[in-house]
Amino acid sequence: MESRNFLRFLFIFLSVSLVLFFTWVHLPYAPQPNSTTDLLDCSTNSPWCTSKNRFQPINKPSTADKILEKPPNPKHRNHEADTPHHPLDPLTISEINKVRTILKSHTLFKSSSPCAFHSIVLEEPDKTLVLKWKKGDSMLPRKAAVVARVAGKSYVLTVDISSGEVAVQETGSRSGYPTMTIEDMTSSTWAPLSNADFNRTIIERGVELQDLACLPISLGWFGENEENRRLIKVQCYSMKGTANFYMRPIEGLTVLLDMDSKEVVEISDKGRDIPIPKAANTDYRYSVQEINPEMMFVNPISMEQPKGPSFTVEDEHLVKWANWEFHLKPDPRAGVIISRAKVRDPDSGEMRNVMYKGYTSELFVPYMDPTDAWYFKTYMDAGEYGFGLQAMPLDPLNDCPRNAYYMDGVFAAGDGTPYVRSHMVCVFESYAGDIGWRHSESPITGMEIREVRPKVTLVVRMAASVANYDYIVDWEFQTDGLIRIKVGLSGILMVKGTSYVNTNQVPGQQNLYGTLLSENVIGVIHDHYVTFYLDMDIDGSDNSFVNVNIQKQRTSPGESPRMSYLKAIRNVAKTEKDAQIQLKLYDPSEFHVVNPMKRTRVGNPVGYKLVPGGTAASLLDHDDPPQKRGAFTNNQIWVTPYNQSEQWAGGLFVYQSQGEDTLAVWSERYGFPLK
């Protein structure tokens, strides 16, 4: 029986598992702001924001330029005068500067101890207050949620921007450290160069120091010797002869680094007998390609909208299109956050609530190589590196079509200075020639009817270039009320060096932990698990989760010529345990989120069907350290009561965490009622 208060606040973590090959993170040296008042724009200070501009082709027309008509870049907005118009609008430049000023005078930050701001974002008001707020009302109090490290300790603070009041919250007994700052990553890649033993090792490997490119690699957690110290591992590549240094690993060389002191703790070099793969034919840039003259190029393609786009963006963050309305903002950890999504009822004309909040909660990327230089590569792209921090400026007409609207992200650097990540998100209408709905009457009916409607959707897109790998995340809205989340993966492989040049050299039983892709190059097997947080509010917050199990039913003797049929059995989840879902091909179910207090005209509860987008599951042992940290991938769907402190599937502090603050741990409360 679905009670009024059952599942008052619902959120669903949906693990969309994509089994692919190869990844990881690189950010080159980023110059610090010249002063604390500098505003860094990614379009003019690209090294601060992205590694893509480290290797630039010579300024000559490329093959791509000859093929594609490049439109002028959209104009860059000046964000210094931005003001919030909605309770969920992100912090503005002036607000971040004010927060920084307030904290500089706080007792915690007055000492000469080293400090860094790992996150300065809006502390969203209570959900009940936001739901009551409407345009024209007074703005709700603006507060900032700040994660900082001072003298080697982590702090979570709330700053009231109007009053200047600062509340320091207890971080509890949870292990782990906050998301790395850009400065953490960039400085770590250069720190080994101050160590003579490291430099000597590089030269002995036949690599000139000026040809070196290094990656900051999170090391997960594998025991007590990694506790009470913020550590990172650094591995390096040769850039000689190619922009694609990922294909030229200095295999087996790993530097263990203290991220705070930049002290080299240990150098492990177990790959001296493994040659560095050759640079020939590895460069991916159009400008250096020798194009086969018989290659057929695709003619330019563009969707024209003579009357312009059909959507509008009000007050910088409120998107309206067709029957949809939602709030959109960039976020340094999640990438993109969709809030207050509503759809218009075609009969009554009223806007009906669908989803209060949705975003990418975590990305778990474990590699399947247990050897010394690879076992620790079990990345958490959002919690360790910041999925939004890795989002790159989108390229007009290539990343996004004509008439797209571009939204910038305003983030805080490690010293609290605001900077602008230009064109981080785009919004556009998509039409690929698909059919939205159709029906034609057969000639035998005598009715000459052919009704066809094109499928036009609204897309919100971001692309995060996490070093070699590029994630493209699309939130797609359809006119029939459907929301679809798509994740595409592109970019470059992460590979392992090997002494083998052909598979006929590999002993029959030797485990390569991957596939020999080219001479001296192995692609290591790994997974990508993308986990989304969905706080559904269908016609209000009193929602229930229903597992509609499809079961085989036998007919009674003489009942029918049929011997069996399928029957739908509805099971309303009463506890968190009831709502832990592992997808099974031969035990199929549908998953519904319904509001039992709102009924259709025939008496059915209104609701949405949740359709998982991927069926892969983790096969790692549950007591394996990486799987303890990534235990939110043990199920494809989780449902828990609303709790504002439980929004990150891997926990608040993911870096070097031991897995005691994850979605799986929260849901161990098997008897906890979903109310």
Beta-bridge partner residues of 177: 655
Structure tokens at 437: 């709905």
Q: Please, is 298 exposed, middle or buried when counting C-beta atoms within 10 Å of its C-beta (0-12, 13-18, 19+)?
A: exposed
Calpha distance 665→435 (Å, rounded): 44
Query: Considering 177, 379, 406, 469, which one is annotated as catalytic?
Result: 469
| Residue tagged 């919690």 (tokens) | 383
Clarify whether 372 is annotated catalytic: no
In sequence order, what DSSP letters do the residues of 113-144 get, joined into one string?
S-EEEEEEEE-PPPHHHHHH--TTSPPPPPEE
Q: How many CB atoms lie within 10 A of CB 145?
A: 17
Calpha distance 266→258 (Å, rounded): 10
Collapsing DSSP to helix, strand or coil, 559 comes out as: coil
The radius of gyration of the chain's CA atoms, rounded to the nearest angstrom, is: 27
Of 642, 628, 633, 640, nearest to 666 by C-alpha is 640
Calpha distance 490→222 (Å, rounded): 30
CA atoms within 13 A on the CB side of 412: 28
Q: Ramachandran region of residue 491, left (φ > 0), alpha (ψ -120 to 50) or beta?
A: left
The conformation of residue 398, written as its DSSP 8-state character, comes to T
Of 290, 272, 277, nearest to 246 by C-alpha is 277
Furthest-apart CA atoms within the chain: distance in Å: 88
Query: Considering 89, 269, 331, 381, which one is annotated as catalytic?
Result: 381
Of 339, 412, 397, 321, nearest to 116 by C-alpha is 412
Calpha distance 487→469 (Å, rounded): 13
Structure tokens at 253: 């060389």
Calpha distance 434→430 (Å, rounded): 10
Under a CB-based contact definition with an 8 Å cutoff, are residues 114 and 153 in contact?
A: no
φ, ψ of residue 662 in degrees (nearest 5): -115, 170
The conformation of residue 665, written as its DSSP 8-state character, comes to H
Q: How far is CA 392 from the centre of its chain?
A: 12
Under a CB-based contact definition with an 8 Å cutoff, are residues 13 and 532 in contact?
A: yes
Residue 350's alpha-carbon distances to 21, 344, 373, 597, 638, in angstroms, are 46, 6, 58, 18, 31
Clarify whether 469 is annotated catalytic: yes
Structure tokens at 99: 């927060």
Calpha distance 376→367 (Å, rounded): 8
Of all helices (H) and strands (E), which one includes residue 185? helix 182-190
Q: Please, is 507 exposed, middle or buried when counting C-beta atoms within 10 Å of its C-beta (0-12, 13-18, 19+)?
A: exposed
Calpha distance 245→239 (Å, rounded): 5
Residue 368's alpha-carbon distances to 233, 291, 456, 612, 619, in angstroms, are 18, 36, 41, 25, 11
Calpha distance 531→613 (Å, rounded): 11
φ, ψ of residue 648 in degrees (nearest 5): -110, 120
Structure tokens at 109: 């930050």
Catalytic residues: 381, 469
